[in-house]
Amino acid sequence: MTDVLREVAPDVVPAVLSGPSFAKDVARGLPTAVTLACEDMDLGEALAAAIATPTFRPYIADDLIGAEVGGAVKNVLAIGCGIIDGKGLGESARAALITRGFTEMTRLAVALGGRAQTVAGLCGLGDLILTCSSMASRNFSCGRALGEGRPLADVLAERRAVTEGVASAPAVAALAQKHRVDMPISQAIHDILSGERGVDEAIRDLLARPLRSES
C-alpha cells in the first residue's frame, strides 16, 4: 500500500500501523500492542506517542515492507488454519502450519526488501497468531467452511464483509513465483481457493514433501 501512497501522494511520509488488535478489544480498553513502522524514526516516535494510550501500545519500527507483507500473508495462512480446523486435523497440525507459514512469510518479506526481525514482531507474527486462532477472523471461518467440504462460492455468497485472504492468495502466489520464494503452504491454499487442487490432495502433497533441514 505504501507503493500506492507514493504514487498518489509523493510528498507524504508513509507510516504503517499493524498488529494483533481486534477493534472490540481496543475499544474496550483491553491491553493491545501493535507495530508502528515509519522510515523517519523521529516521526515514528512522535506518532506513537500521539496515539498511545495506557492500554494501546505502539512499538516503533522503520521497515515498511516487513510490516506490510505480514498483514497480507497472514490472511492467506488463516484460511489454511481454518481448513485444518474444519477437517478436524488437530491443534498440533495448526501450530505446525502457523510455524512453517511464518517461515514462508519471512522468506517473502526478505525477498521483497523487508527484514526478518520486523516479520517476527507484532505486525507479522503477532497478527498471524491472532488471525489464525480465532473464529472471529473472517479468513479462519472461511477456511473452516472449506475444510468441512463446502464450496467456496457458497461460503462467499453468504457474506457481506470481504474475506481478504481470498483476494490476497493469488497475489502472494504470484509474488512468490516472481521472486522464486518457496511457499508450499501458501501455494496449496491458493490452489484450493482457485479449484486447482482439492483439500485432501493438497494436504497429501504437503505431507509427501521430502524431509529436510528446518531452515
- CA 177 vs CA 72, 125, 134, 172, 213: distances in Å: 16, 23, 30, 9, 22
Listed in sequence order, the residues at least 6 apart from 108 whose beta carbon sits closer than 8 Å to its beta carbon are 69, 73, 172, 175, 176, 179, 181, 183
Element (H, E) at 185: helix 184-194
Contact letters for a copy of itself, residues 7-26 (x by CB under 8 A): ------------xxxx-xxx
Contact segment (CB under 8 A) with a copy of itself among 85-93, 145-153, 160-168, 179-187 equals 85-93
Contacting a copy of itself within 137-176 (CB under 8 A): none
Give yes or no for residue 68 binding a copy of itself (CB under 8 A): no
CA-to-CA distance for 153 and 37, rounded, in angstroms?
A: 36
Written as one letter, the residue type at 108 is: L
Give yes or no for residue 201 binding a copy of itself (CB under 8 A): no
CA-to-CA distance for 134 and 81, rounded, in angstroms?
A: 10
Measured from the CB atom, the residue of 136 and 174 that comes closer to a copy of itself is 136
Q: Which of 5, 43, 45, 150 binds a copy of itself (CB under 8 A)?
A: 45
**Pick the catalytic residue: 24, 74, 87, 178?**
74
Contact letters for a copy of itself, residues 92-131 (x by CB under 8 A): xxxxx-xxx-xx--x----------xx-xxx--xxx-xx-
Residue 54, number of CB atoms within 10 A of its CB: 7
Give yes or no for residue 39 binding a copy of itself (CB under 8 A): no
Give the burial string for 183-195 (b: 16+ CB within 10 Å, else e): bebbbbbbbbbee
Q: Is 178 a catalytic residue?
A: no
CA-to-CA distance for 193 and 206, rounded, in angstroms?
A: 16
Q: Which of 15, 16, 18, 32 binds a copy of itself (CB under 8 A)?
A: 32
# residues contacting a copy of itself (CB under 8 A) = 60
Rounded to 5°, the CA angle 27-16-39 comes to 140
* Active-site amino acid positions: 74
Sites of contact with a copy of itself (CB under 8 A): 19-22, 24-26, 28, 30-33, 35, 41, 45, 48-49, 52, 54-55, 57-61, 89-96, 98-100, 102-103, 106, 117-118, 120-122, 125-127, 129-130, 133-134, 136, 203, 207-208, 211-215
